[in-house]
Structure 1
Amino acid sequence: MSTEDPRELVGSSPVAEEKAMEAALRPKALDDFVGQKTVRGQLSLVLESSRLRGAASDHVLLSGPPGLGKTTLAMIIAGEMNAPLRISSGPAIQHAGDLAAILSSLTEGEVLFIDEIHRMSRPAEEMLYMAMEDFRVDIIVGKGAGATSIPLELPPFTLVGATTRAGLLPGPLRDRFGFTGHLEYYSTEELELVLRRSAAMLDVSVSTEGFAEIASRSRGTPRIANRLLRRVRDWALVHSVEDVGRSAASEALDTYEVDRRGLDRLDRAVLEALCTKFRGGPVGLSTLAILVGEETETVETVAEPYLVREGFLARTPRGRIATDAAWEHLGLPVPVPEERSGG
């Protein structure tokens, strides 16, 4: 059995060793991008218009949960525009000087991709306003009364910002994006298409039922689907399984503690703590974290969003509570209201 942390299998953030594999599996053209039909259609119009005008595209903001393809779309935008791509991230731009250094080295038409743009520092954000709107920045030279401002003209460029928390972006920054696209979670059918493409590239044979089994456990996220596919491939290779069907895929994913609803060890631990120790809650977040042996932030950002989205967990002013679906998923009898904590 693998010693890999099962949380990494269903976590939406990329782990270091899989980034090269992700890059190989990414589609290179908008027509090859699976899912997000509305965003793809709108983005296609934006890019085609800029090509016909012979000008840089409007700035693009992509929002949505991690793992849905924001970075891939940024790369596709650069590819469709035949423009070079510069990649940075919000946490890496903590001073206005950091941003000025990036902007001053851009070439005409270049695409600048800033991931997690909501995590930029405020001084850098304010510099970005002018750069996006007027294609210039003011560089401050010196300090105090002797400081002078030197305007620096920038070539037309396209900024692609990605954020998992669009609500944290200040209004003036959001307003400067000409196009905003929100990426939604994928359906099982869309994930099956993603998996078919990836399986062909990984040279692994999977049946239709096998694809459906992997997709159903992938939390609606292509990154997780591809990660699970690679683990199923490893299991099949070790067990000499040439054609992966539903039972083989199910056995492989059970080995990695990813159940039929995509829940992992941490997810189930949270639900079991709620149901068996507190009769369904309500329970405070910090108490839950102590019970499952994890940091509060891990429970809140890794486990809780999916459990809430799938209807296993609910937030209340008094704390977290388990829903009837949680009891049923754990194979426990659903208590009558008066048996619940505080009933």
Structure 2
Amino acid sequence: MEAEGIVSAYASDAEHDAEVSVRPKRLADFIAQHRVRDQLDLLLRGAMGRGTPPDHILLSGPPGLGKTTLANIVAAELGVGIRVTSGPAIERSGDLAAIVTSLVEGDVLFIDEIHRIAKPAEELLYSAMEDFRVDVVVGKGPGATAIPLDVEPFTLVGATTRSGLLTGPMRDRFGFVAHLDFYSADDLRTLLHRSARILGVPITEEGAVEIAGRSRGTPRIANRLLRRVRDFAEVRADGVVNLETARAALQVYDVDGLGLDRLDRAVLTALVESFRGGPVGLSTLAVAVGEQPDTVEEVCEPFLVRAGLLARTPRGRVATEAAWRHLGISPPNGTFGSGVNPTPDLFSAEP
């Protein structure tokens, strides 16, 4: 993984095995998301008491906050199997029919990025969710025949990073909808201590606090930074992740005190130095930093906006006063967002 991707909330293919090793297996071990955790506990306990599968569950929120982990926890708490797939992988209704008809009674079907499921498959999913049956069309034209197939009662857990792209009929078929929020710095610190124990990494309280403050409120990023700091500690230090080691390691990986990486700072620098703070269009800004517009919009901007460093306006992107000061440059008079200062502890408040 390149250094500029170290604070991306999206997981690379090579990262999944490392993530699985530190994922909690039970709801009691799941850190943060306290409201969602309590609501899920009630939902699952009620269903188990009645001896029926729980309502279908929709989990929404930014990447890296634990939607996949919660889906696996739901199956573990119910003591049933889980079938995992993703929206882009289901291109035809027949693909979905093959999956749902192979489920055992009570199984959990987890569909990641469910908003990207193909329209024909989505319409087939409606009847599977509501009536536990699907109609498979055999043949074409006037001779086509619909064969009804029964589906064993199951629980669908859908995950989406863009809940606004879900159709109304799809959203209405979920009995429980939860939104996952960014983690506080305290929750990330607790998570880092837990991950360090599992990975066998000696870590001090100060080291955990330093990494948590640069993790952008995202547990996936926190665990990734922990692994990179571990590498640094084992190669260039005494193997212990302390304050000095964490700071030195994150400096090597170009992650600053706010959690900004090379690309984040390049966006802010281009806005401030090349465009005098903006406003500037997304495409022009992307060209200035040598990236695709989608990368700037989906990877960089969400965190920069939350941190109060960048603003989206009808005329384009604007660097706030906090962005100028973060780059060590005095902002001119009338800079957007006067009086807003960045803080390393952006996520200190409890959700």
* TM more than 0.5: yes
Q: Which residue of 2 aligns with 1:33?
A: 30
What secondary structure is seen at the aligned counterpart in 1 of 2:6? Answer: helix
- How do 1:223-302 and structure 2 match up within 5 A? 223-302=220-299
* Preserved contact between residue 89 and residue 115 of structure 1 (Cα < 8 Å): yes
- Name the residue aligned to 1:85: 82
Query: Quick check: 1:205–1:244 contact (8 Å CA) kept in 2?
Result: yes
Q: Which residue does the alignment assign to 1:325?
A: 322
CA contact (8 A) 1:214 1:225 kept: yes
7, 14, 17: which one pairs with 1:17?
14
2:321·2:335 contact (CA, 8 Å) conserved in 1? Answer: no
Matched, 1:179 2:169: no
* 2:69 corresponds to: 72
* 2:191 counterpart of 1:194: yes
Note the aligned Cα RMSD (angstroms): 1.1
Between the aligned partners of 2:108 and 2:162, the Cα distance in structure 1 is 22
Aligned partners of 2:208, 2:86: CA distance in 1, in Å? 34
Q: Secondary structure at the match of 2:233?
A: helix
Match of 1:165 in 2: 162
Corresponding residue for 1:48?
A: 45
Is the 1:90–1:118 contact (alpha carbons within 8 Å) kept by the matching residues of 2?
yes
Supply the AA of the counterpart residue of 2:323: A
Query: Could you say if the C-alpha distance between residues 320 and 326 of structure 1 is closer, same or farther in structure 2, counting changes exceeding 3 Å?
Result: same
Distance 1:338 1:230, change over 3 A: closer
Q: Secondary structure at the match of 1:61?
A: strand
Equivalent of 1:137, from 131, 134, 138? 134
**Partner Cα separation in structure 2 for residue 333 and residue 149 of structure 1:** 69
Alpha-carbon distance in 2 for matches of 1:240, 1:219: 26
Structure 1 runs not aligned, ≥5 long: none
Alignment deviations for residues 67-111 of structure 1 (CA, whole Å, 9 cap, x no partner): 000000000000000000000000000111111111111111110
Cα deviation, 1:182-203, whole Å, max 9, x if unaligned, reads 0000000000011000001111
* Residue 331 (structure 2) aligns with: 334
What SS is found at the alignment partner of 1:275?
helix
Q: Return the offset for 1:338.
A: 8.5
Question: How many residues get paired?
Answer: 336
SS at match of 1:112: strand
Secondary structure of residue in 2 paired with 1:105:
coil
2:345 corresponds in structure 1 to: none
CA shift digits 1:291-319 (9 cap, x unpaired)? 11111111111111110111100011111
Contact 1:27/1:72 (<8 A) preserved:
yes
The one-letter amino acid of 2:101's match is S
Tell me, in whole angstroms, the C-alpha distance in 2 between the residues paired with 1:253 and 1:66: 22
Q: Secondary structure at the match of 1:206?
A: coil
Q: Percent identity?
A: 61
**Residues 221-264 of structure 1 deviation map (CA, whole Å, 9 limit, x = unaligned):** 00000000000000000013233221221111011000000000
Paired with 2:329 and 2:237, the residues of 1 have a C-alpha distance of 37
Residue identity matched to 2:181: E
- What is the DSSP-based 3-state SS (H/G/I as helix, E as strand, rest coil) of the residue aligned with 1:331? coil
CA deviation after TM superposition for structure 1 residue 7, in Å: 2.7
User: Contact (CA 8 Å) 1:112, 1:159: kept in 2 or not?
Assistant: yes
